[in-house]
Structure 1
Amino acid sequence: MRHRSPVEVDDVTRLANLAFADTQFPKQSKDFDEVSTYLETYAPFYFNLGLFDEIWASYLEA
């Protein structure tokens, strides 16, 4: 959640803001499949899953 910002400057910020606002989002999960499945199936917002894959890869590299 460190990427949240009142001004969405990029896709990472947008996803962080959407996830923060979604009370059901698995915020503490470190499991790619759990988060990806949530975004595909249950998220009350749309987010490009290809971008999510790129963001997750960057997260793992950090």
Structure 2
Amino acid sequence: MRKSFYQYLMTQRNPNSGDPIAHFAEAAFFDQQFPKQEKNYEKLSEYLELNASYLPSMDIFDQAFHHYRESEAHFS
């Protein structure tokens, strides 16, 4: 079974990292409304655009989602 984007993102958490994706993951961890079961790019993107003031650029989400898709391709 394919994991959700949130599950993937939590593997990127590292509060001591300077990596923007690690910062995104850390902030998403504290976002109680984050769609934790979602796998769909458009739905996640819409949520983040409307609700994630902690995300300084949607480019960070795009990069993270790209890595998520790549990681999932290895398990298909």
Normalising by structure 1, we get a TM-score of 0.83
Alignment of 1:1-62 (within 5 A): 1-62=10-71
Give the number of equivalent residue pairs: 62
In angstroms, what is the RMSD of aligned CA positions?
A: 1.4
Segments of 4+ moved more than 6 angstroms: none
Q: Distance in 2 between matches of 1:28 and 1:12?
A: 19
Which has the greater radius of gyration? 2
The answer to which structure, 1 or 2, has the higher relative contact order (CA under 8 A, 6+ apart) is 2
Can you give the 5+ residue segments of structure 1 that lack an aligned partner in the other structure?
A: none
Q: Distance in 2 between matches of 1:29 and 1:47?
A: 21
Which residue in the other structure is 2:3 paired with?
none
Can you give the 5+ residue segments of structure 2 that lack an aligned partner in the other structure?
A: 1-9, 72-76
Give the C-alpha shift of residue 50 in structure 1: 1.6
Paired-residue identity, %: 37
Normalising by structure 2, we get a TM-score of 0.70
Q: Distance in 1 between matches of 2:38 and 2:21?
A: 17
